[in-house]
Amino acid sequence: MQNPPFKIAVLGAGAWGTALAIQSARQGNETLLWCRKPEQAEAMARERENTRYLKGVAFPEKLKATCELSDLSGCNSLILAVPAQHLRSILLQALPLLPKAVPLVLCTKGVEISSGLLMTEMIREIAPSHPVCVLSGPTFAIEVAKGLPTAVTFAADDREWAGRFIDTFSSKSFRMYYTDDIQGSEIGGAVKNVIAIACGIVEGRQLGDNARAALISRGLSEMIRLGLACGGRAETLMGLSGLGDLTLTCTARQSRNYALGFALGQGQSLQEHLNSRNTVAEGVSSAESVTALAQKLQLDMPICQAVHKVLHRNEPLDTVISELLNRPQRAEPFLASTA
């Protein structure tokens, strides 16, 4: 018996949510793109593109923009792509309007500051009857929207349903690799944005490529350390949703978090940089929430802690860099170690 067609809704019309909606509709799925502001929904419906975040990329025929949460009632899969710190409030508004037990596909990266919960933990707390999946990996939204080659991890408990979703959502240029390691797939996305800010600072401060390579490798160690403590697997974090995402975000200026770090390294203040952008650098909030989670779990994550000091404690950049460089010498631990 043929599977029923997918009707996919995307919650969040930033660059990433829009790119995912375009990918979905391009594959022939009836796709709804929800945004909070009526004027933005009207503009997207009229212009058939998201000129604010992905200017020049036309919407496929099967993509519809809306600001009405009631329109979500007909979907059989909901993709979550709103900023991490706003996800709870928006999802609480949407849940009464959703079909019972519709799968929720998490594409938001971060840890909730107010609760200290991972996004999947928060979703299970407020929506226990809905299966939760994670889509994560090395992706720039504009490249996905343009159909350039991309590979991601898709984590879900139900392999049969995940296979159907992958079949209907993926394409030759958007490859999806299944895993059942939901925790590991989620942790990589939360930590990599913080490490990317650190790498941007290194370039902005002209500290050299050696320093950036060291940050990426030691940042991966921090990522795996936290992932294991949260129940994930090291091999997952050595894959697309961990090392892959970390490498992309830490080496390209089109990364919002890397660009933020670069600006800080060149002497710009955090507020000056944020005021000049219309996109969210998730690493700002993740630096706070990831550091708090590490402290709760009694894990040493010096790079994340250093970024937190710069962003949230206003400690001088040179002082924080000096503290990192003056840490005691020790043997390089196995990646899974808490040393």
Residues labelled as active-site residues: 192
| Contact between 180 and 234 (Cβ < 8 Å) | no
> At how many degrees (to 10) do helices 302-312 and 182-204 cross?
60
* C-alpha 134, offset from chain centre: 10
Helix, strand, coil in percent for the chain, rounding step 5: 50, 10, 35
255: left (phi over 0), alpha (psi -120 to 50) or beta: beta
* C-alpha 270, offset from chain centre: 21
Angle at CA of residue 279, ends 278 and 282, nearest 5°: 145
> At how many degrees (to 10) do helices 283-296 and 84-94 cross?
90
Which amino acid appears at position 238 of this protein?
M
Burial of 271 (0-12, 13-18, 19+ CB in 10 A): exposed
Residue 186 CA to residue 164 CA, distance in Å, equals: 21
31 phi and psi, to 5 degrees? -130, 135
